[in-house]
Amino acid sequence: MVNEAAFRTKPILQEFISLVARHWNATCDTLQSGNGFLPLLLNDESGVACANDWANGFVRGMEMRRDSWADLMDDEEQGGSLIPILALAHEHHPEPEMRP
pTM of the model: 0.64
Q: Which of 1-10, 13-22, 75-84 has the weakest average pLDDT?
A: 1-10
Instruction: Express each pLDDT in 29-56 by its tens digit.
Output: 988 998 877 888 888 899 888 888 899 9
CA 19 to chain centre: 16
First to last CA, the chain: 36
d(CA 30, CA 37): 6
d(CA 1, CA 7): 12
Q: What is the pLDDT of residue 2?
A: 57
Instruction: Express each pLDDT in 63-81 by its tens digit.
Output: 999 999 999 999 999 888 8
